[in-house]
Structure 1
Amino acid sequence: MKKLACILALSSAFVSVNAFAWGYDGHRAVGAIADQLIRGTSAGQHVQALLLPGESLEKIATWADCVKGTSCGPQTDEMVAYTTANPQHSEYHYTDVPFQLSHYEDHGVGTADHDIVQTLKQCILVLQGKADKTTNPHNFTPRQALLMLTHLTGDIAQPLHVGEGYVGKSGGFVIPTRKQLDDKEAFATQGGNNLLLDDVKLASNSTQLIPAAPAEDKPAVAPQASAAAAPAAAAAPRPPQTTRAFHSYWDTTVVNYAFRRIGARTPSQFALLVIAGNPVVAPNTGDPVSWPYEWADQTLVVSKLAYADVVPGAMTQQTSKTTGEQYNVWPLAIPDNYPVPSSAEAKGQLIQGGYHLAAVLKAIWP
């Protein structure tokens, strides 16, 4: 399932889709939590040995998304080398298990040999020094494995990066077989990218339900552009956004809500606040290489909550302005109070991601 292609198609058509799963702040919050938890440990020393001067887990947490394009600035030689050697790198970030299921199973519907669970296993084996040509098919170096592990441990905590909503031909979410998907009896929603929320209604509801951002985040009077700097012909204003992809909501909008609900302004501040709360995170067991399966199963639990009481409407088609290809979309109705429980779950998942990242690093380098 080419989720990245769908994201590009949607963004060019009418939906604003952030390039980052969990968004910039969400991924950096996961890294910032882990930075705090491994400080002064053997794991912390080994991590620093693989990082460049000035880097931290927080700062590298978005690297694996930055390599997808120029949203973070020009591509470095390291990024170009990685993407050249990994032409399917955008598919390492997710799996598409039907959200109704309880377990990720190898070769199950929606899984792939290079999906997020398999890629995380590979990263862990490389950092353990146990990888070979079979278990490290992408030839990750230890540094690349750390870059990917840091990012993907955040990704696998994002509910829609594990639990996929499949819509049946007659409507409603279903658990499809591969044959039903091939026969167009059921359709993938591409991680919720093809499920469209009413963004106007969402914004109105969230204003009433979610605290405003801290005052320090609000800009002063917007600077006025000088006449000399103004373009000769101003670009036509973009029409206001009226829909939001369900995936985009879980990538960025809900992270903003989670930050606002605890008064955090930055990823580092979010990390300090949640760690101070002494959260209870279930420990992983057994060989760390098996932990991605546990993480996927835990996220499937939250995926069910993400899809609870949400209802897809009638399927229609849109045409990509860049490729001319048609794709299916569904309007998605959510409960009016959805921002409240979803932001609580997002906070919990960001915490899970940060604590899981620290735990696996400590297990690799005790």
Structure 2
Amino acid sequence: MKKLACILALSSAFVSLNAHAWGNDGHRAVGAIADQLIKGSNAEKQVQALLLPGESLAKVASWADCVKGTYCGPQTEEMVAYTTANPKHSEYHYTDVPFQLSRYEDNGVGTHGHDIVQTLKQCIAVLQGKGDASTNPHNFTPRQALLMLTHLSGDIAQPLHVGEGYVGKSGGFVLPTQQQLDDKQAFATQGGNNLQLDDIKLTATSSQLIPAASAEDKPAAATPPRAPQAIRAFHSYWDTTVVNYAFRRIGARTPEQFAQMVIADSPVVAPSSGDPVTWPYQWADQTLVVAKLAYADVTPGVMGQQTSKTTGEVYNVWPLTVPDSYPVPSSAAARSQLIQGGYHLAAVLKAIWP
């Protein structure tokens, strides 16, 4: 765990708090932080002009995920129009830079022309009033750009949405070339979705390390808590489980309360510099620091294969071993990354609309 301590020290150069992740609660927390930070500013006025009555950044923070299906409720006309015009919208949420690298580079391994960095650049350019055929190839409207910016500012702070773990043919994480990937000498793990944790063991371990939720936060008997699964995708752990742990560690019951509590602690977040359209590169580079933490002392086992029940596609999977203490540094990382996402979103909105 010495490696984890070193990486936490590195990430503290960006946030002077214990280092945090993004399901609905995580995204709502990012939006709630930004809502509070832009209060009374011109940015707040411009944001409200693009949002509908009753909406806030926190309330629309999951819109870009909700358009992927009906789990948030029926698709609206606005959602259908967006997905129809953007058939590859699910690919806007991430990039797959090898986690061992320190920088996101255009055309590097795991990047593509509509990944999260490129899509964020597009959203910012549109809101700056600079959207044209070159800078806005997806023809986002200003409202769509704001909705996507709000969501992706959270996604780019999630370590596995930026740093990808590639497994070598002989095992272990490797730093691959594109040729090695093409020749099947190394394999992507789809943002950790194909890395499988022992969920029962991890849940038992975390119960000894992370404070239990307060009685009033526990679901009613009619809706018992989710039982541990035999396996849990590593990506899913970072999307949702560590957010729950991060909330519990500071006693936050809601995303809005989490936002209030972390802002009250006056976190020091290193500012981005230069033209705001370049900030997504800086955000990705900061998240790569934390991605190294996410993969530190983590070991993939022997590759196996599974078949998708929906598509019939055969894909590779690896059992994943993590340190028994993993819930502590990972939930600390989730906390500070949620803070990063919220502060970055507020800062870019204020830079666009000073």
Query: Could you say which TM-score interval applies, normalised by the shorter chain?
Result: over 0.9
Cα distance in 1 for partners of 2:85, 2:35 equals 29
Q: Tell me the residue number matched to 1:211.
A: 211
**C-alpha separation between the residues in 1 aligned to 2:62 and 2:100?**
29
Cα deviations across residues 247-296 of structure 1 (Å, max 9, x unaligned)? 00000000000000000010000000000000010011110000000000
Measure the CA separation in 2 of the matches of 1:295 and 1:150: 14
Query: Structure 2: how far apart are the matches of 1:281 and 1:323?
Result: 43
- Match for residue 262 of structure 2? 274
Aligned to 2:108: 108
Q: Which position in structure 2 is the counterpart of 1:87?
A: 87
Tell whether 2:266 aligns with 1:286.
no
- For residues 197-237 of structure 1, give each alpha carbon's deviation from its aligned partner in whole angstroms, at most 9, with x where no partner exists: 0001100000000000122111344389xxxxxxxxxxxxx
1:33 Cα shift? 0.1
Which residues of 2 match residues 171-186 of structure 1 at below 5 A?
171-186=171-186
Pair 1:299-2:287 in alignment: yes
* CA distance, structure 2, for counterparts of residue 130 and residue 240 of structure 1: 48
Counterparts of 1:321 and 1:218, CA distance in 2: 33
Distance 1:183 1:91 in 2: 24
* 1:246 paired to 2:234: yes
- TM-superposed CA distance for 1:239, in Å, is 9.7
**1:71-104 Cα distance to aligned partner (Å, 9 max, x none):** 1000000000000000000000000000000000
Same amino acid, percent of matched pairs: 82
Is 1:325 the equivalent of 2:324? no
User: Which residue does 1:39 correspond to in 2?
Assistant: 39
Match of 2:336 in 1: 348
Q: Which runs of 5+ in 1 are unaligned?
A: 1-20, 225-237
Question: CA separation in 2, counterparts of 1:154 and 1:356?
Answer: 9
Consecutive unaligned residues in structure 2, runs of 5 or more: 1-20
Aligned length: 333
Output the CA distance in 1 between the equivalents of 2:274 and 2:214: 42
Q: Cα gap change, 1:121/1:170 in structure 2, threshold over 3 Å: closer, same or farther? A: same
Counterpart position of 1:142: 142
Q: Which whole-Å CA distance do the structure 2 matches of 1:212 and 1:43 have between them?
A: 38
Aligned twin of 1:255: 243
SS in 2 for 1:138: coil
Residues 199 and 228 in structure 2, CA contact (< 8 A), matched pair in contact too: no
Q: What per-residue deviation string (whole Å, max 9, x for no partner) do you get for residues 2-29 of structure 1?
A: xxxxxxxxxxxxxxxxxxx800100000
- Superposed CA deviations along residues 157-197 of structure 1, whole A, max 9, x for unmatched, are 00000000000000000111111111100000000000000
**Given the two structures, how large is their TM-score scaled by the length of structure 2?**
0.92
Which AA in structure 2 matches 1:167?
V
Contact 2:165 2:173 in 1 (8 A): yes
Q: Report what 1:126 is aligned to.
A: 126
Give the match for residue 359 of structure 1. Answer: 347
Residue equivalent to 1:9:
none
The 3-state SS of whatever aligns with 2:297 is coil
Q: Distance in 2 between matches of 1:240 and 1:115?
A: 32
In structure 2, C-alpha distance between the alignment counterparts of 1:320 and 1:151, rounded to whole Å: 28
Q: Which has the higher contact order (CA 8 A, sep 6+)?
A: 2
1:321 deviates by 1.4
SS of corresponding position for 1:211 = coil
Any conservation in 1 of the 2:34–2:343 contact (CA below 8 Å)? Answer: yes
Q: Distance in 2 between matches of 1:219 and 1:245?
A: 24
Task: Give the match's secondary structure for 1:58.
Answer: helix
Structure with greater Cα Rg: 1
Q: Hey, what does 1:69 align to over in structure 2?
A: 69
SS of structure 2 residue aligned to 1:90: helix
TM-score, structure 1 normalization: 0.89
Q: For 1:287 and 1:128, how far apart are their aligned partners in 2? A: 11
- Give the aligned residue type for 2:214: P
Mapped to 2, the partners of 1:47 and 1:283 lie a distance apart of 21
SS of the aligned residue for 1:328 comes to strand
Give the match's secondary structure for 2:193: coil
2:153 is the counterpart of 1:153: yes
Q: Distance in 1 between matches of 2:36 and 2:168?
A: 45
Post-superposition Cα deviations, 1:116-141, rounded to whole Å, max 9, x if no partner, equal: 00000000000000111111000000
